[in-house]
Structure 1
């Protein structure tokens, strides 16, 4: 009996040749959810599917888990990288082909997590501008550069900022990409900004449907500043950086009122905006002056887009908008408490563990924030499997069954 168990264990490892991280759970019978159909055919996919179903249904089992793609951009040709990692290489429907989306992706760490994010949101009709934090390591930059060269619609921003949390540099990073995306080469309908630790909760077709509901209006969730956020634009703040530290430092200096009597709104740093609005923020004098005024505010990306979208004559404006748009699922510490996050908190935001999967799948948001592949591989792996299955079921183009993994 002991020898038979050892043989079974050896066979399992052979089947999962690249699986490296062991997660131990107690055995329990799998249950089924009607919302997931789980059609995967390969041996790897069948095992991962069972494991993911267990996690989604709060069951427990014993399994091994991989946390890297089949090929790395650093040691493979672009053809092998794209084919063996099963990237989508043609539009999966006419509707998607006619509704290209631009993505602004700001990165500073977690290259393997970013790889998974890009593979999941990638479609050949879309365009992807990548801003790399100027403080990132040389190895990190080289990895992104190698990846970029494999795709004609993926490019690195023409200018890179040393991004400081809550500083003007975070807003500048987005604006550099927005400027690069405004060339005639890229004819997109909406631009969506992401960080490298976001992950989509919808397929590309579902994102297209979500955006179409707004009929060209910009999605910038927010409202007038609550009392606890007033200080962000009332006083002057400065970015500070040396070899060891980078942070935003507050002062007691009062700021002048906003230019053009603009009413400041406060909200999410994440948005989905029309091409016309992108041109507006780069050329309109009010937008340019607001950017200059925002230079010494705290976290200006959380008021800049929201405020400009409330100007009634801005392209795609929503002057009466509040928090609609459902762009992000985020577990905040003050809302969910210490036990509400099954991973861990960073700056009061939950890094999702596998125990957060049921909560994530109950939400209707477009993206979720945040993930770390190395810390909690099953969370991201299972979401990707579910999304890739939904993508397959929605596709109007034939896809090889081996595409699953």
Structure 2
């Protein structure tokens, strides 16, 4: 196990820090700036180069020596402001493949005073389980979920995996975290830890959850569904109305949750009854958080209710996603979602969201590598938060 050399510094301690290069094949700054001719050149570079990526076994071997692992991936030294120390965060990370990409995400969001729960899909390869276990063993504030689920797309198991990590994080005595952010391993941060803290302080204990009408998706919860052959399929059984005469709402599986909201979601009898009702629906993770946030009669703490003149969806700052209907993807679409390429970076870095979903570390690899370089250098400069925008939210 390593212990990080935490430096407690004044805000913006390295304002004049020289930019650090992580990528040498291309000039990432020109890509970030949106230079179209140079982006075309960078695409040719990616086509001509044979990239070598660490596999799960490589990552496990590196993490077996924690001090060496920390040195290679630069986990040891952190510039942490008192503002960040006084506002610890919790994270859940769901992963099912590619330890190298999971490690990239962990490294980007890691701070010694935060806490992290990693859920590795029960059906994932033994090599992934070993690699993630080795990485987690190097840090006192990173742990593997106590109960892993075999996650099936669109089934209740996806939501249960997050809830298992959330339960563990509520029970920990190591860190008294204030907010929890749930992530898939294919996301990457657009904000630094200090920026996230500054933004969340403006929310004054409220959660950031996507809430919209579920009318178009009624077929997903009006009839029962069942896992058949690793797929969720409807069966000929109509569901009874939801408990407490509540209105089902649709939203993202990902959000930014206050501690009080997480505690309610895990322990309140009303949340438990809603969970039970959602078990045989399609993609319950897209209905649970949104429905809790939608219905004031449930008395859920840490949510926004009845804000006149405000589009509630704007309150959702967790993640930016590009769907195929938007036709704005410079990468490729997988399951109707854009896997970002280098041509997307210019717009991504100006987004107000905390994270971007999604990246493949081995598809247009310069996209994730250049974003990683940009994000790292941003941690050594002043945290530029659009306070007026987030304060209005």
Q: Please report the TM-score for the alignment, with normalisation by the length of structure 1.
A: 0.81
- Report if aligned partners of 2:141, 2:174 keep a CA contact under 8 Å in 1: no
Contact 1:310-1:320 at 8 Å conserved across structures: no
SS at match of 2:113: coil
Q: 2:142 aligns with which of 128, 131, 154?
A: 154
Task: Indicate yes or no: 2:309 matched with 1:318.
Answer: no
* Equivalent pair of 1:223/1:266 in contact (CA under 8 Å): yes
Cα distance in structure 1, aligned partners of 2:28 and 2:166: 40
Q: Write the distance in 2 (CA, Å) between the matches of 1:345 and 1:122.
A: 29
Give the conservation status (yes or no) of the 8 Å contact 1:89–1:124: no
Asked if 1:133 is matched to 2:127, the reply is: no
Find the counterpart in structure 2 of residue 59 from structure 1: 37
Cα distance in 2 for partners of 1:97, 1:185 equals 14
CA 1:67–1:275: 2 relative to 1, 3 Å: farther
By relative contact order (CA 8 Å, sep 6+), the higher-ranking structure is 2
CA distance in 1, matches of 2:96, 2:130: 13
Partner of 1:330: 321
In structure 2, what is the equivalent of residue 16 of structure 1?
A: none
Q: Give yes or no for contact 1:220–1:325 (8 Å, CA) kept in 2.
A: yes
Residue 74 of structure 1 corresponds to 61
Equivalent runs, 1:5-404 vs 2, <5 Å: 39-40=18-19, 45=22, 47=24, 50-54=27-31, 56-60=34-38, 61=41, 72-75=59-62, 76-87=64-75, 89-90=77-78, 92-183=80-171, 184-226=173-215, 228-241=216-229, 246-312=230-296, 313-320=299-306, 322-323=312-313, 324-336=315-327, 340-394=328-382
Hey, what does 2:388 align to over in structure 1?
Answer: none
How far is the alpha carbon of 1:90 from its aligned partner? 4.2
SS in 2 for 1:314: coil
Alignment CA distance shift 1:49-1:86 (3 Å): farther
Q: Deviations over 1:313-355 (max 9, x none)?
A: 212122337212222111101221xxx3222111100111112
User: Aligned-pair RMSD on alpha carbons?
Assistant: 2.3
1:49: how far off? 6.7
**Deviation by residue 1:138-187 (Cα, 9 ceiling, x = unmatched):** 01111101111011111110001110111100010011001100123331
| Structure-2 change in CA distance of 1:46 and 1:161 (3 Å) | closer
Q: Provide the C-alpha distance between the structure 2 equivalents of 1:139 and 1:320, rounded to a whole number of angstroms.
A: 49
Q: CA 1:280/1:216 → structure 2, altered by over 3 Å: closer, same or farther? A: same
Aligned counterpart, 2:387: none
| Change in CA separation of 1:300 and 1:379 when aligned onto 2, cut-off 3 Å | same
- Superposition TM-score, scaled by structure 2 size: 0.83
Equivalent residue of 1:74, what SS? helix
- Partner Cα distance (1:254, 1:127) in 2: 42
Structure showing greater radius of gyration is 1
Count of equivalent residues: 349
Are 2:119 and 2:165, in contact at CA under 8 Å, matched by a contact in 1?
yes
State the alpha-carbon separation in 1 of the partners of residues 354 and 220 from structure 2: 28
After superposition, give the CA deviation of every residue in 1:29-70 in whole Å (9 maximum; x if it has no partner). Answer: xxxxxxxx99335xx54736724424642232465696658x
Structure 1 unaligned spans of 5+: 1-36, 396-405
Give, in whole Å, the separation in 2 of the partners of 1:140 and 1:73.
Answer: 8
Query: Displacement, 1:195?
Result: 0.1
Give a deviation string over 1:205-227, Cα, whole Å, max 9, x none: 1111121111001111112213x
| In 2, Cα distance between equivalents of 1:82 and 1:65 | 27
**Structure 2: 5+ residue runs without aligned partners?**
1-15, 384-393
